[in-house]
Structure 1
């Protein structure tokens, strides 16, 4: 009987228990973290429906949550899931998550570098359209093997078989189309996000040096408040994109090395695969760590169990300020 190994982004290490345990921890933590983030962000979105950065952040977290949920489901049903479905989800979700991160960076770049023309490019309806269009493009690129341009199918090497996730030199020439498009999308995400973040940092620095041009009595206070708000949003976007880049680039490098016909240690492949999976956990963590006000909100929810409360205004970072109950 053939021994089947399914290499997937959960970092399946065959009989390597340490890899499998780590994957299970990432999946469990990712599911809880993204579920909590989805609930909080949904409430923010209901109160700030016109905020483009919240729309994009909510979309990103939803992508991460759906990804983690499907990964858990397909691990449970792995004996009933085809290699095509494994490969499709493996390729799609990192691209989808990365493209949303890059779009968030670009949105911040336009907001800070072109504030007077920002409304021409980003409005709630346009922002949602951009998100849907980009996710649709990632779906099309990842689905090319279904029409013969690339392959996710099972391949055999002697007594061992596995679901194909890599391209090798002996592949048909048509497979290069999928490899090229996938690589182009991947590196474009990294470059666009990096350049946008550099521009964002420069714009925030310029804001701190800018003199008020309106009411001299009110402008300094208003300017400081706006700089702080923009800085908080930028911190979240930059942190999310940095986490994605760290998790994503090693995989792209490994993919290119394998396509060139070079050997890569299996442990390295598994580690890079787990890093891709871990990115879906990094996103909600990055959001919390860069939004100090979130701690107050979470603390408030926990203190609901205490008997004494009073009304107080609680800041929730760059997203909103709301009235809630906190313990005395």
Structure 2
């Protein structure tokens, strides 16, 4: 009887909706992401497309496909919930589809981490990288991480985690009240936190390595690290400029990853402790927009800035200058090169 009364009270509370400005923001963000990922895939699909490195091309394709699916799915589900009758968007099946679409959300972070670790090993452990890091190993890592995400997201279907209440309402895992559901919410929180920390630490390791090389050149007492390309040798000054531009790109990636992912993680304890506060709903929606922004900016940062046609559009920007982007694009190809230590 108490459950029936509780469900009656809850049913009288209007479901969370989006205001017109919020809907416009989400829609523009999704459309930009869909366009960017489609454009990225059009560059990556041809066999002779840049970057020529097969490992980079594989990871960029995985990232673009994942983000494209995430953007299309989230925009479609958003409009279905806003404009279709409750008989459709209030069903358990629709709730299960929404829940399972989180796979693409976490999947984007998994691919980004594999890319960050690949770059980190290429610069910090070059001999180990050339011997052990292959396309096969990268495929295995991406598949293993995606499999772990599928298992994590699917746990509520087996009773561990909240998604469907006894009142026949679709709820987010953050709104958990039972101990086992709260445990799942913090498991999800921990997994996302580990993804974020791994991404940031890998990129910081790259930046630290590049800064150490630059300091060593300035002092003149440390070994000179020279990259010998398959086609031509690079002088130290040219390599330094490229690597410093690459370091800027790593800093940008880390900052954007933190800005987009950390707020989403913070929303878990926020909803748990202040779920009934008036400000919580608006903050959570803003955090959702930041996460959606991650799927939009990925193709523009990872893929499209490498092509001359796209770089011309940003040529007026001080940070994204043609020279800087050309240098960062060339430095990303460091996996093609042999690392040779020579005394100054």
Does the Cα contact within 8 Å between 2:246 and 2:328 map onto a contact in 1? Answer: no
Q: How does 1:131-280 map to 2 (within 5 A)?
A: 131-153=142-164, 163-168=170-175, 170-171=177-178, 173-208=179-214, 209=216, 211-212=223-224, 221-231=234-244, 235-260=248-273, 262-264=275-277, 265=279, 266-280=281-295
1:70 to 70, 73, 80: 73
State the secondary structure of the residue aligned to 2:172. coil
1:285 aligned partner: 300
Does the Cα contact within 8 Å between 1:35 and 1:65 map onto a contact in 2? Answer: yes
Question: Unaligned regions of 5+ residues in structure 1, if any?
Answer: 300-313, 321-328
**Structure 1 residue 164, shift from structure 2 partner:** 0.9
TM, length-normalised to structure 1: 0.75
Mapped partners of 1:99, 1:27: distance in 2:
20
State the secondary structure of the residue aligned to 1:163. coil
RMSD over aligned Cα, in angstroms?
3.6
TM, length-normalised to structure 2: 0.72
Mapped partners of 1:204, 1:131: distance in 2:
26
Mapped partners of 1:254, 1:34: distance in 2:
27
More helix by share: 2
**Structure 1 residue 272, shift from structure 2 partner:** 0.8
More strand by share: 1
**Structure 1 residue 154, shift from structure 2 partner:** 5.2
Does the Cα contact within 8 Å between 1:243 and 1:283 map onto a contact in 2? Answer: no
**Paired residues, what number?**
293
Mapped partners of 2:143, 2:155: distance in 1:
19
Question: Unaligned regions of 5+ residues in structure 2, if any?
Answer: 1-7, 218-222, 315-325, 334-344
CA distances 1:270-301 after superposition (whole Å, capped 9, x unpaired): 111111111111212223685474535889xx
2:337 aligned partner: none
Mapped partners of 1:237, 1:192: distance in 2:
13
